């Protein structure tokens, strides 16, 4: 089944023009919010949408540009709509998300005392695909980002790879295309500097052309315009544009 993708933002953690790298993924009757960073509420507002419009949320890792909007989402759904949104998240991140990120703002004695009080928590295990909706199937792939912090990329419908923040891992990309039938790669791209915790444009340009042909670039800096025409066959994803995958 074809999916539709709309990036709420396409920027890096420090980008201001392009917002946090978060996305909406649609099948015919279901909307999945993929990560919910600090700028996600504003991005939805600019599209004329709200959290009520979302059917579920999937989190890749717990940096603020990927989870910083969850507090607002949780409060709005609980206080305004009395609704628990399904939260798909790696089983290794359930406790850290509550203890280290959300507890400080959301905890209310006798009312909100754990993640399960505000979300319908659905833990995921890496390597095990699950059906999120009739048209969206997702598999977590553990990918390396910050040493000692778990981060997961997503393989959708056995053909679309969506990278979280990750270091350059060419073997994985080749395996996905050569052995698993991957047709589209949505990949983070650090435009400048060394790739210590992210994948750089120069590293992606070193890939064989048949892999580059599948790649759309995201999670880039506010100076993206300076790099137009310098990405070979790879294309930049555009904020708010609707793509059919």
Q: Which domains can be identified in the chain, with CATH numbers?
A: 4-237 (3.60.15.10)
pTM of the model: 0.97
Distance separating alpha carbons of residues 221 and 188, to the nearest angstrom: 10
Contact 67, 37 (CB under 8 A): yes
- Residue bearing tokens 């699950």: 130
Encoded tokens for 243: 């793509």
- Considering all CA atoms of the chain, what is the largest pairwise distance in Å, rounded to the nearest integer? 57
Encoded tokens for 185: 């790669």
Helix or strand holding residue 123 (H, E): strand 119-124
Q: What is the pLDDT of residue 81?
A: 86
Q: What is the pLDDT of residue 82?
A: 87
From the CB of residue 209, how many other CB atoms can be counted at a distance below 10 Å? 9
Which residues lie across from 127 on neighbouring strands? none
- Scored b (16 or more CB within 10 A) or e, 216-234 reads bbbbbbeebeebeeebeeb
Q: What is the pLDDT of residue 184?
A: 98
Q: Spell out the alpha helix ranges (H) of 60-206.
A: 64-67, 70-80, 94-96, 103-106, 170-180, 201-205
pLDDT tens, the chain, 245 aa long: 789 999 999 999 999 999 999 999 999 899 999 999 999 999 999 999 999 999 999 999 999 999 999 999 999 998 888 899 999 999 999 999 999 999 999 999 999 999 999 999 999 999 999 999 999 999 999 999 999 999 999 999 999 999 999 999 999 999 999 999 999 999 999 999 999 999 999 999 999 999 999 999 999 999 999 999 999 999 999 999 999 99
Contact 9, 39 (CB under 8 A): yes
Q: How many residues does the chain have?
A: 245
Q: What is the pLDDT of residue 2?
A: 86
């Amino acid at each position: 089944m074809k999916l539709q993708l709309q990036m709420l933002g396409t920027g890096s953690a420090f980008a201001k023009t392009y917002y946090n790298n978060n996305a909406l993924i649609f099948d015919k009757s279901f909307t999945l919010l993929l990560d919910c960073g600090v700028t996600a509420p504003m991005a939805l507002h600019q599209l004329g949408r709200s959290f009520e419009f979302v059917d579920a949320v999937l989190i890749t890792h717990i940096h603020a540009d990927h989870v910083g909007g969850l507090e607002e989402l949780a409060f709005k759904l609980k206080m305004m709509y009395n609704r628990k949104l399904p939260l798909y998240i790696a089983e290794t991140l359930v406790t850290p998300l509550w203890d280290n990120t959300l507890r400080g703002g959301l905890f209310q004695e006798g009312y909100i005392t754990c993640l399960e009080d505000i979300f319908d928590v659905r833990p995921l295990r890496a390597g095990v695909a699950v059906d999120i909706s009739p048209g969206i199937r997702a598999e977590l792939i553990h990918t390396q980002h910050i040493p000692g912090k778990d981060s997961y990329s997503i393989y959708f419908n056995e053909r679309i790879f969506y990278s979280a923040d990750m270091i350059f891992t060419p073997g994985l990309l080749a395996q996905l295309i050569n052995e698993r039938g991957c047709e589209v790669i949505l990949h983070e791209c650090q435009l400048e500097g060394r790739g210590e915790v992210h994948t750089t444009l120069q590293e992606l340009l070193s890939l064989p052309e048949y892999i580059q042909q599948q790649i759309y670039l995201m999670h880039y800096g506010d100076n993206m315009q300076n790099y137009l025409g310098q990405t070979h066959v790879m294309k930049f994803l555009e904020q708010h544009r609707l793509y059919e995958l």
